[in-house]
Structure 1
Amino acid sequence: MIAQRIGRYSKASELLGVHSGSLANYFGHVFSRAVESGFPANTTASNSVQLLGRHYPRDDYTNVKDTILSKVEKNLHNQKYHPLWLIKERIKDHFYKQYVRCSRTPLFSVYDNLCPVVTTQQNFDRLLIPVDHPSRKKGDNYYLNQTHMLRAHTSAHQWDLIHSGLDAFLAVGDVYRRDNIDSSHYFVFHQMEGVRLFSVHELFGDAQIEENYQLFEQSHRTAHKQESHTMEAVKLVEFNLKQTLTKLISHLFGERVKIRWVDCYFPFTHPSFEMEIKFQEEWMEVLGCGVMEQQLVNSAGAHDKIGWAFGLGLERLAMILYEIPDIRLFWSEDERFLKQFYVTHIDQPVKFQPLSKYPPVINDISFWLPLEGYSENDFYDLVRNIGGDLVEKVALFDEFIHPKTKRTSHCYQITYRHMERTLTQDDVRLLHQAIQKSVVEELGVEGRF
């Protein structure tokens, strides 16, 4: 099957026989007129990554490229009338109105302009993520260098905000992860983090004095509690967490929304849960949450408090709530998309009206995998870096293992589709050739074009 495809790609392989500089110039000149991918041309390599006015020395960990850097500072969640802004504002307004202090000021403070560049200590160590945890892999993250990265979750700010003295806050921002390519996955998306801490009096009230309830004890960890927490405290924190999130989702989706809780695992909470909602007759996960690990809370300086945390994806909620079918649409500058969210009030119902569904252009790419060091996310990242938002989906549809050499060959189907107009095979040809060439040069694989 693989051999049959070699002839199909031989002509394209010959076309790639030009010098890389000539190809880049030709590709940049012709394709910019044909398609406009929306991504800047690669800048000259230097010894540092320049981002947000700072220089980060490159090292063996550096894997961030211009396509990713071009998204930093877009801050879609702060662009008025953008659907992600609408979701953020609706959640913020709900928390402001539902939870107030005795002084009638909001209990929760909101931070939506925190720097997306964090240290690996912030992103992993302070969240108690083990050094050998798979979430630290270069294949899953965007590193500026060994010590700095683009945050993979808004949880990276938990420790700092608690350490500053806050006990109730929402943190919102863009997060970056290397992932597969389809209509619901993108290398940058937006999260909201929520944290609330309780003192013994805030949790138990006057009952603490009468019944001598306590937050902490020295026991052992079970499936339902941490070793340092009393069962009474954990149950109240868990109840408050689930009640808070149920009210939020009911506010967004209506009182009739069906909700269920699923036990799960996160390194920085225990017990931990995912919330699922019934949407179009299917259960869909919308957020993760749990009782914060006391070791994290203690290290941030809040030794006398216990708390909960949650994290949710704004795109996930917006796609469900507004019926947006493709995550790439959030990055569209097409007025036909953006004007649909110009509302007179943030709670005004909006149903996305699809733009014309332009036909796809589909091409295959096949190659032998290197004997070691290959990460599928490296391939996805390369395709994104060259194809940008014209790439709708990348799917592995054939895998072949040579019976004698035992080498593995992958064949992927790349679906190209412009969100605003029709593409032709001629439009895509140069783009696909550039991907083929980069697969060989950057990933060190043997092409089977």
Structure 2
Amino acid sequence: MLDKVTKLIHDVQAFNATSKDEIEAFRIKYLGSKGLLKDLFNEFKTVDNSLKKDLGQALNNLRNSATDKVQELNDSIENQQETKSFYGDLTRPSEPIELGSRHPISLVRNRIVEVFSKIGFTVSEGPEIEDDWHNFTALNLPEYHPARDMQDTFFVEKDPDLLLRTHTSSVQVRYMENNEPPIRTISPGRVFRNEDISARAHCIFHQVEGLYIDTDVSFADLKQTLLYFTKEMFGKSKIRLRPSYFPFTEPSAEVDIYWGLETEVDYKITKGTGWLEIMGCGMVDPNVLKNANIDPEKYTGYAFGMGIERIAMLLYQIPDIRMFYENDVRFLEQFKSVL
């Protein structure tokens, strides 16, 4: 009988299974209520006492071996099933992956940055919650200037010196304070103004402002930079500069591009003139340079600024600025194929 039990232990250790059914059949054969171990323990009672010690140890080894084998095989089968369900059938055709949409404001912002980076402009950023000095005073806006009125600016109630920036020119002031000329940078970002929301205006919008400071910088340099930008951005090579006023530039100008009158849409967006205003610009006022600790006797510079929403509305013929902020998936999906 001892030889029989020893052979069964060997058979148990050599057993292998590939399914739950095979493992269950093995368990019933050895450990079931009518299994081999039950019969062997019944037979054990009739064995001579001198043989019971060795035979009892062998029967316990057989029971332990069978129990361990069942657990081992069950664990192996479960691990295989988990791996298969995690990776799935690798031979199946994959599901089409839906491409997300880029927001038109992001598309236009990235394009503007790309255009100016080709001629050496770096990108600078600053805080959206700004102080009076960087947003107004350093930019040559005196205390009585209308832009300081509550109707234009969102002030922080707990600190009258803090406000939501009304333009990204504040970033340029910070950049000038921390960098020595030559300076060539653009400052894209979100700005805030306390205005009524309509199809053409919003209290939140985005700007890109540019700054170039060096020795012997002239208005002609500014014009050539703007001409380069309009050619790259719009494919238009005809611009005009109209005299204007900004507190931080002198002289100042509004920049128009000739959009043309080839279609009915052209007539509509240009109001029949063929010209479209796209940005403001000018030579940096000497007082602004002085406020940023730059010697206006040695250095000159130009600055320009444009609204990203306005550029996007022109490029994609979007009639209402509010569409940028409504999170309408139908609107955003139009820009899926645009890289």
- TM interval, short-chain normalised: 0.5 to 0.7
- Please state how far the C-alpha of 1:243 moved relative to its aligned partner: 0.9
Residue in structure 1 matched with residue 163 of structure 2 by the alignment: 149
- Please state how far the C-alpha of 1:299 moved relative to its aligned partner: 2.4
Q: 1:242 to 1:173 in 2, by over 3 A?
A: same
Deviations 1:379-436 (A, max 9, x none): xxxxxxxxxxxxxxxxxxxxxxxxxxxxxxxxxxxxxxxxxxxxxxxxxxxxxxxxxx
- Please state how far the C-alpha of 1:86 moved relative to its aligned partner: 0.9
Q: Distance in 2 between matches of 1:298 and 1:87?
A: 33
Aligned with 2:173 (options 139, 156, 159): 159
Aligned with 2:134 (options 102, 122, 125): 122
Q: Distance in 1 between matches of 2:112 and 2:243?
A: 24
Is 1:183 paired with 2:199?
yes
Residue in structure 1 matched with residue 65 of structure 2 by the alignment: none
Q: Distance in 2 between matches of 1:123 and 1:255?
A: 33
- Please state how far the C-alpha of 1:168 moved relative to its aligned partner: 0.9
SS at match of 2:334: helix
- Please state how far the C-alpha of 1:259 moved relative to its aligned partner: 1.9
Residue in structure 2 matched with residue 266 of structure 1 by the alignment: 246
Superposition map of 1:37-116 within 5 A: 81-97=102-118, 99=119, 107-112=120-125, 114-116=126-128
Q: Distance in 2 between matches of 1:291 and 1:284?
A: 22
Q: Distance in 1 between matches of 2:229 and 2:323?
A: 25
Q: 1:249 to 1:277 in 2, by over 3 A?
A: same
Aligned with 2:284 (options 277, 289, 292): 292
Q: C-alpha root-mean-square deviation of aligned residues, in Å? A: 1.8
Residue in structure 2 matched with residue 310 of structure 1 by the alignment: 304
Deviations 1:250-273 (A, max 9, x none): 2111135x4211000111100100
TM-score where L is the length of structure 1: 0.47
Deviations 1:163-212 (A, max 9, x none): 1115111111111112233201111110111000112xxx4xxxxxxxxx
SS at match of 1:139: coil
Is 1:301 paired with 2:301?
no
Is 1:243 paired with 2:255?
no
Question: Which letter maps to 2:246?
Answer: F
User: Does structure 1 retain, via aligned residues, the 8 Å contact 2:104–2:312?
Assistant: yes
SS at match of 2:232: helix
- Please state how far the C-alpha of 1:344 moved relative to its aligned partner: 5.2
- Please state how far the C-alpha of 1:334 moved relative to its aligned partner: 2.2
Structure 1: gaps spanning 5 or more residues: 1-78, 100-106, 204-235, 346-449
Question: Which letter maps to 2:204?
Answer: V
Residue in structure 1 matched with residue 30 of structure 2 by the alignment: none
Deviations 1:280-335 (A, max 9, x none): 24233210110001121122122132100111000011001110111111113222
Residue in structure 1 matched with residue 51 of structure 2 by the alignment: none
Deviations 1:119-174 (A, max 9, x none): 11211101010111111001111111311000011112221111111511111111
Q: Distance in 1 between matches of 2:333 and 2:103?
A: 9
Residue in structure 2 matched with residue 277 of structure 1 by the alignment: 257
Aligned with 1:193 (options 209, 225, 236): 209
Question: Which letter maps to 1:126?
Answer: A
Aligned with 1:133 (options 145, 160, 164): 145
Higher normalized strand content (fraction of residues): 1
Q: Distance in 1 between matches of 2:128 and 2:332?
A: 25
Q: 1:268 to 1:175 in 2, by over 3 A?
A: same
Deviations 1:12-40 (A, max 9, x none): xxxxxxxxxxxxxxxxxxxxxxxxxxxxx
Which of these two proteins has the greater Rg computed from alpha carbons? 2
Q: Distance in 1 between matches of 2:334 and 2:254?
A: 31
Q: 1:143 to 1:247 in 2, by over 3 A?
A: same
Q: Distance in 1 between matches of 2:122 and 2:225?
A: 16
Q: 1:191 to 1:80 in 2, by over 3 A?
A: farther
Deviations 1:41-68 (A, max 9, x none): xxxxxxxxxxxxxxxxxxxxxxxxxxxx
Q: Distance in 2 between matches of 1:197 and 1:340?
A: 40
Residue in structure 1 matched with residue 5 of structure 2 by the alignment: none
Q: 1:92 to 1:328 in 2, by over 3 A?
A: same
- Please state how far the C-alpha of 1:341 moved relative to its aligned partner: 1.6
State the percentage of identical aligned residues.
Answer: 36
Q: Distance in 1 between matches of 2:164 and 2:305?
A: 17
Question: Which letter maps to 1:261?
Answer: L
Q: 1:250 to 1:151 in 2, by over 3 A?
A: same
Residue in structure 1 matched with residue 83 of structure 2 by the alignment: none
Question: Which letter maps to 2:286?
Answer: Q
Question: Which letter maps to 2:186?
Answer: L
TM-score where L is the length of structure 2: 0.62
Structure 2: gaps spanning 5 or more residues: 1-99, 260-265
